[in-house]
Amino acid sequence: MEALLFGTAGIPHSTPKRSSEMGVKRIRELGLDCMELAFVRRVSMGEKAAAKVREMATREKVSLSVHAPYYVNLNSPEKEKVEASRQRILAAARVGWLCGARNIVFHPAFYHNDEPKVVMQRVKTHLEELAAILREEGVDVVLRPETTGKPTQFGSLEEIIALSKEIEGVAPCVDFAHIHARTGAYNSYEEFASILELIKRELGPEALADMHIHISGIEYGPKGEREHLNLRNSDLRYVELLQALKDYGVKGLAICESPNLEEDALLLKETYLKAP
């Protein structure tokens, strides 16, 4: 990536005709640069629609990523749910590739009553197999398990980095709001910088030049994430976060997940550009 690009998680609210294709066009009209295609419940886009999205994104120079359906649990005790989760990730990757998206984001698993090391091995095995399937199909994407916002969910920063270190075709999706909600910490310049230092140390400086980031306000409690908030209604110190991203030369996609979507995405971009 040549820069840090800012955009929305899903179609901007102000898009007159709500479709992914028109959402991409609206992103450029707003002065934003990227959009995450949000397949919330299922991957329902066909090849023709995907081709139109790709054409629009190419014309408007908008970078795309994909969020797989939210119900993914690679550690479910029910085999059919694990298989359904695998198929959702594969479907998101295949359609995303047709759209021109490279990064495929998903929530990997829940711990249930299993030891974290056991869950790590199961998730690792599945991701190794899924990445191999996609390579064999020529679907050249990066699978990005996301740092999660609740202690019951597999997906601490360290777990996501470990997966990325060990599996070809896997890299982190770093959700700073989730990390803050999960830990109750990581909400200062020094702590944001420590995250970037850890990624640089474990995955190499090239990882900072190709990041996929989620940013939003967030409400949280002892059990972690409750809901996303607009930045100005939250305690997330986003100005310090943006300064850290700039100081470390981070490049890639920064996706805003605030409820007001484009309003906060523009706030993030404007604040970032003004940072020294």
Q: Residue 45 carries which DSSP code?
A: -
Euclidean distance between CA atoms 155 and 107, whole angstroms = 8
Q: Give 183-235 pLDDT, tens digit per residue.
A: 999 999 999 999 999 999 999 999 999 999 999 999 999 999 999 999 999 99
Angle at 158 between CA 152 and CA 163, to 5 degrees: 95
| pLDDT (0 to 100) of residue 247 | 98
Provide the mean pLDDT of the chain: 97
Give the pair of three-digit tokens for residue 70: 């939210």
Domain span including residue 212: 4-274
Q: Tell me which amino acid residue 245 is.
A: L
Q: Give 113-166 pLDDT, tens digit per residue.
A: 999 999 999 999 999 999 999 999 999 999 999 999 999 999 999 999 999 999
- Burial of residue 81 (CB within 10 Å: 0-12, 13-18, 19+) is middle
- Burial of residue 154 (CB within 10 Å: 0-12, 13-18, 19+) is buried
Euclidean distance between CA atoms 31 and 150, whole angstroms = 33
Q: How far is CA 24 from the centre of its chain?
A: 17
Question: Would the pLDDT of 1 be above 90?
Answer: no
| pLDDT (0 to 100) of residue 41 | 86
Burial readout 51-79 (b: 16 or more C-beta within 10 A, e: otherwise): ebbbebbeeeebbbbbbbbeebbbbbeee
The four Cα atoms 158, 163, 166, 171 give a dihedral, to 10 degrees, of -100
Question: Percent of the chain beyond pLDDT 70?
Answer: 100
Q: For residues 237-244, give the mean pLDDT.
A: 98
Indicate which CATH number applies to the domain containing 181: 3.20.20.150
201: three-class secondary structure by DSSP: helix
Please report which confidence band the pLDDT of residue 105 belongs to, taking 50, 70 and 90 as the band edges: very high
Q: For residues 171-181, give the mean pLDDT.
A: 98
Q: Give 241-264 pLDDT, tens digit per residue.
A: 999 999 999 999 999 999 999 999
What residues are paired with 170 via a beta bridge?
143
Euclidean distance between CA atoms 219 and 150, whole angstroms = 12
Question: Would the pLDDT of 29 be above 90?
Answer: yes
Q: Give the count of domains, the chain.
A: 1
Please report which confidence band the pLDDT of residue 5 belongs to, taking 50, 70 and 90 as the band edges: very high
H/E stretch holding 175: strand 173-175
